[in-house]
Structure 1
Amino acid sequence: MAPIERRSGRKRALVNGEDIEKKNTLKRSLRQRTDTVKKEKPSTDKVNNNNINIDKKKVLESSSKENVEPPSLASNLPKALSCLNRVQPGIQGFIPHGLHSNNILYRLQHNAMGITRERSLRQAVVQSYSDQLANYRILTTASPFDRRVTAMQWHPTLPTTVAVGSKGGDLILWDFTKTEGITFMQGIGAGGSVTHLQFDTTDPSFIYTSSIDGKVSRQDFHGNNKTVFLNTMDWSYWYCSLDVNYRSNVLVSGDNLGNTVLMTRQGEKVWSHRLHKSKVTHCEFNKQCEWLLVTASTDKMVKMWDIRMVSGRKSALYELPHDRPINSAYFSPDCSRLLTTDQNSEIRVYGGPLWDKMERTIPHPHRFFQHITPIKASWHPIHELIVIGRYPDPQFPGYHHGENRTIDVFDANTGDMVCQMLDGSAKGIISLCQFNRDGSYLAAGMGLNTLIWTDVAKLTTQGALSVNKTISGIGLNPNRGSNTSQRRRNRRNNNDDEVDKLKKKLKTKTKTKTQTKTKTQTKSKSSRR
């Protein structure tokens, strides 16, 4: 027979007619065998190789009569039939290591290729920085106060300078890179507690303060040019919080009775209303929206206000109820989120611009105690991280005996704890934590002490600064006591020095006496001779 030409798409193949007839006969024989197997056992059941009995000899005889070689499919027919009614397992692909890794270089490369999402890129950035935070240790300490630390604020332009206020009204301006870099301003003592302080960004040599003596004032660290904006003249009525809006040129302050006062920076009162039922623990302006104000109170309520339309307690834009009294409510650095800290065991993150939307709740032990400064969570200036001191609570889930009083760092996007900062020399409860403007240093208030934390690598490179350094006779080691105990130690040291001096004088006198005796003896001997 002449060869037959066939076309299938763009491909052409020349097939011999005899070969086609042989393959057709093979297909018919295979169909007959499969039909007999299906009759013996239904197709819904799985076919086992042991239960199928196929007469291979008949297939071979039929193929030999037609002078056709037995195909490989006939010998593997039981396996082929068993695969008809069985689901094939999926092929397991190989995932490159870079897709699992949190390395920022991998994530940036995949983001450029369109493989990863923005969220995974953020997590990679947070992971790299959290590994660095885990290496933070105490760089230096200062304890110039005889009462606990109540407020602190970093300098707006100097990354190594921090201002700290105490319960006795004392203020310090501290540049911890200098041995004599501390400026101390004496307070009034009992009843002069600094509740909040903030640098004047227009002139950083001045600072705004609110205190329990009932005053809201602006002053420098030398005690000169002091301006008092508010004064209650009543020891049972004081101011607890303040903030300054430089774009609108206004200042706001809240007191312990729930009142909030808005005034210009020149001292002219704009309005005064009782916006909460009890103490206004925190008030803050949104830096991206100059008319938006947030206030937090011990009446278990956080409220958002438009300062242009405040007429009373019911004129709030948003009300965010909590289960416990609230210590603070900080806007994030980009002003898109709000971080609140209650007085028991809960941190909340709210998202804007609809501020009534709570993104997540983070359980954390930081219960309130009368004789410590209320614990407040704060933001990292660059990354979306939350930092807060831990006060272990036996009633908190997951508590174990001997739990450390660490500084905990959380990821605001997931609510997971990314690391815990711990130094063996700081065993107290850390109430206040604030990063400087670039996040390279962390200032923490622990009782009477102010601690500066940084990376361990910086401790080795900066030989001039040692761990737990004492500042120019004023500062103390965090494991030591107050100024009175330090003065006692200094007196003892002075007494010891005087005793050593007396001993040296006595030794010199005895030496001179022995020398004179030996001289007189030698002279007497020579005279006798």
Structure 2
Amino acid sequence: MKEKRQKENLLSRRVLRSRTAALSSTQNFNEKVPTEKLPDEKPKPTASSTKRSLQKSATDINENTWKTPEGFKPPNIPAVNPFGLNSCNMVHRLHHASLSISQGNRLKQAVVQPYIQQLVNFRIHSTASPFDRRVTALEWHPTLPKTLAVASKSGDMVMWNYKNAAKFDFNKGVGKGGAITNMTFDLMEPSGVYTSSNEGTVCRHCLGQDGNRQVFLNTHNMEHWYCSLSVNYARNLLIAGDNSGNLTMLDRKDGKALWTRRLHKSKATHCEFNSRCDWLLATASTDNTVKIWDLRMMTDRKSALFVLNHKKPINSAYFSPDSTRLLTTDQNGELRIYAAPLWDRMERSIAHPHRFFQHLTPIKATWHPLHDLVVVGRYPDENFPGYREGEKRSIDVFDANTGEMVCQLLDPSVSGIASLNKFSPSGDSLASGMGYNILIWKDIVKLQQILSEKSRRNHDDDNSEDSRAPQPRIPGPAPRRRRRRNNDDDDDIGAMKKRLKGKLGKR
């Protein structure tokens, strides 16, 4: 037993040998053995000593780090009051943007607010009633700012310059059953207009030359007609939709049909190319859908990029002027705005009464050419949510960014429903189709200021002409002195002559 205990003690000594011995055995004999020095134990700091050290370190940091250089002046931070934050003034908005506290929507509102204040002053400037049936289409001239083309249910078309209200360039239609369903100017030659009609034709008319037209499509059937069309100038294409949901693609120059496909289940009420992306096409139909297409991949009804389902049939689907939004109008009481690039994302929905009626031109909402505004005619409905008794048939303008109504145009002299409303390319005029009538809205206050300024200038010109009339000259002091000097010179010459004569006589 004793021998076993001695062996165990020897083994434990070998294993539990000191650190210095282990290190000395692994290193060479001529190297020094490393030794570890334990840190000296310091006295634990008391509360008073730690407080003094913290105070000292803080003062040292303030003295070294936050020491202001000589001649440094702290910047004056402008104060921002709550009124300034809610203001839509452009100066306030730009100031807040410089302070990085401005919002994008506020800045957009500041841009559009001056125009809305001008829009409130819009009143009827000119009217015309050249047709015997209601207006079905209208379009502003692309280069003449005061000229527009208007078409009627009987197929008649006029080119009208509202500055000369009594003069029209009239194109006679076929009469009953020949309604113009859609029209657009030829941007390459603005004297021409492309039209689709209930007659079953797609044509190009030369306005001002009655009977001069080029027929692209003709069904020769009054029960099969064309409802919409659009032109793509970048690809020289023209597309037309009919009342069965078929769309026909044509060559714009020679009118040759490229293909015809049934892309909707029922009437194709609207089609439009995107002006920025020439391969993008939007079509609307009474099958409660709006479809977005890629021209390069159009094969059948299932090849649409996006299908935008609605609750009611669709009257129109217009791209915004910057081509980044799509505005749709249904046949009941909803306006929708979809945003690019994912066109199936609905950005905003606006409740608005504009129900469909058989003997009324379908109401279509359109964009303002310069601002994010939407204009649409109102058809009051007692069953519509939010109806107020005595509601007027006004023209409503909405802010596309907020969905709020910013203005209502109403004139007591007219009481009809404005189905079609379009701003001029400059945005200073609004054309409306109201039954048989064409209305032009303008800023009356601005026009009165212009007329008063012109009359004042004419009055000043008349006064200046009166002041320029010939009047008797009254010689001033300078001419008198000059005349006296001349007389003195003459007297001196005469005296010299007399002296010379006297001298010669003496000789």
TM-score bin, normalised by smaller chain: 0.7 to 0.9
- Does 2:388 align with 1:400? yes
Corresponding residue for residue 285 of structure 2: 297
Q: Is the 8 A contact 2:336 2:348 kept in 1?
A: yes
Alpha-carbon deviation of 1:462? 6.0
Distance 1:182 1:287 in 2: 31
Corresponding residue for residue 64 of structure 1: none
Corresponding residue for residue 103 of structure 1: 89
| Aligned partner letter, 1:226 | R
Distance 1:162 1:423 in 2: 22
Distance 2:165 2:274 in 1: 37
Distance 2:216 2:394 in 1: 39
- Equivalence map 1:176-215=2 (5 Å): 176-215=162-201
Alpha-carbon deviation of 1:401? 1.6
Q: Secondary structure at the match of 2:296?
A: coil
Distance 2:165 2:408 in 1: 30
Alpha-carbon deviation of 1:263? 0.8
Corresponding residue for residue 345 of structure 2: 357
- Equivalence map 1:457-476=2 (5 Å): 457-461=445-449
Distance 1:212 1:360 in 2: 34
Q: 1:329 aligns with which of 317, 322, 325?
A: 317
Alpha-carbon deviation of 1:118? 2.2
Corresponding residue for residue 220 of structure 2: 233
Alpha-carbon deviation of 1:312? 1.1
Q: Is the 8 A contact 1:149 1:448 kept in 2?
A: yes
Corresponding residue for residue 170 of structure 1: 156
Q: Is the 8 A contact 1:170 1:185 kept in 2?
A: yes
CA, structure 1 residues 11+108, in 2 after alignment: closer, same or farther (shift >3 Å)?
A: closer
CA, structure 1 residues 103+94, in 2 after alignment: closer, same or farther (shift >3 Å)?
A: closer
Q: 1:414 aligns with which of 378, 402, 406?
A: 402
Distance 2:419 2:61 in 1: 79
- Does 2:433 align with 1:445? yes
Q: 1:255 aligns with which of 242, 267, 272?
A: 242
CA, structure 1 residues 311+116, in 2 after alignment: closer, same or farther (shift >3 Å)?
A: same
- Does 2:433 align with 1:383? no
Alpha-carbon deviation of 1:411? 0.9
Alpha-carbon deviation of 1:108? 2.1
Corresponding residue for residue 242 of structure 1: 229
Alpha-carbon deviation of 1:165? 0.4
CA, structure 1 residues 11+125, in 2 after alignment: closer, same or farther (shift >3 Å)?
A: closer
CA, structure 1 residues 94+109, in 2 after alignment: closer, same or farther (shift >3 Å)?
A: closer
Q: Secondary structure at the match of 1:282?
A: strand
Distance 1:179 1:308 in 2: 46
Distance 1:232 1:455 in 2: 45
Distance 1:373 1:11 in 2: 79
Alpha-carbon deviation of 1:179? 4.3
Unaligned 5+ segments in structure 2 are: 1-54, 63-78, 453-507
Larger Rg over CA atoms: 2
| Aligned partner letter, 1:299 | D
Distance 1:202 1:457 in 2: 36
Distance 1:156 1:343 in 2: 29
Q: Is the 8 A contact 1:126 1:411 kept in 2?
A: no
Distance 1:219 1:330 in 2: 24
Corresponding residue for residue 320 of structure 1: 308
| Aligned partner letter, 2:318 | Y
Corresponding residue for residue 50 of structure 2: none
Q: What TM-score comes out, normalization by structure 1 length?
A: 0.69
Corresponding residue for residue 27 of structure 2: none
Corresponding residue for residue 59 of structure 2: 9
Q: Is the 8 A contact 2:170 2:210 kept in 1?
A: no
Q: Deviations over 1:3-40 (max 9, x none)?
A: xxx9772699xxxxxxxxxxxxxxxxxxxxxxxxxxxx
Corresponding residue for residue 141 of structure 1: 127
Q: Deviations over 1:208-254 (max 9, x none)?
A: 11110001000111125411000000010000000100001000000
Question: Identity percentage over the alignment?
Answer: 57
Q: Deviations over 1:163-209 (max 9, x none)?
A: 00000101010111124442111111101100011100000011111
Q: How much is the aligned-residue C-alpha RMSD, in angstroms?
A: 1.9
Distance 2:332 2:194 in 1: 29
| Aligned partner letter, 2:206 | D
Distance 1:191 1:344 in 2: 26
| Aligned partner letter, 1:136 | F
Distance 1:193 1:11 in 2: 86
Distance 1:114 1:274 in 2: 52
Q: Deviations over 1:251-273 (max 9, x none)?
A: 00000011000011111111110
Q: Secondary structure at the match of 1:9?
A: helix
| Aligned partner letter, 2:234 | R
Structure with larger RCO (C-alpha < 8 A, sep 6+): 1
Distance 2:139 2:103 in 1: 36
| Aligned partner letter, 1:110 | H
Q: Deviations over 1:481-524 (max 9, x none)?
A: xxxxxxxxxxxxxxxxxxxxxxxxxxxxxxxxxxxxxxxxxxxx
Alpha-carbon deviation of 1:109? 2.6
Distance 1:462 1:168 in 2: 39
Q: Secondary structure at the match of 1:404?
A: coil
Q: Is the 8 A contact 1:104 1:128 kept in 2?
A: no
Distance 1:313 1:11 in 2: 74
Q: 1:123 aligns with which of 106, 109, 117?
A: 109
Q: Is the 8 A contact 1:139 1:459 kept in 2?
A: no
Q: Secondary structure at the match of 2:297?
A: coil
CA, structure 1 residues 389+11, in 2 after alignment: closer, same or farther (shift >3 Å)?
A: closer
- Equivalence map 1:466-505=2 (5 Å): none
Q: Is the 8 A contact 2:149 2:160 kept in 1?
A: yes
Q: Deviations over 1:344-399 (max 9, x none)?
A: 00000001111111111110000001111000000000111110000000011111
Q: Secondary structure at the match of 2:150?
A: strand
CA, structure 1 residues 457+165, in 2 after alignment: closer, same or farther (shift >3 Å)?
A: same
Q: Is the 8 A contact 2:377 2:418 kept in 1?
A: yes
| Aligned partner letter, 1:336 | T
Corresponding residue for residue 514 of structure 1: none
Corresponding residue for residue 34 of structure 1: none
Q: Is the 8 A contact 1:302 1:320 kept in 2?
A: yes
Corresponding residue for residue 272 of structure 1: 260
Q: 1:366 aligns with which of 354, 377, 382?
A: 354
Distance 1:249 1:206 in 2: 16
Distance 2:80 2:433 in 1: 50
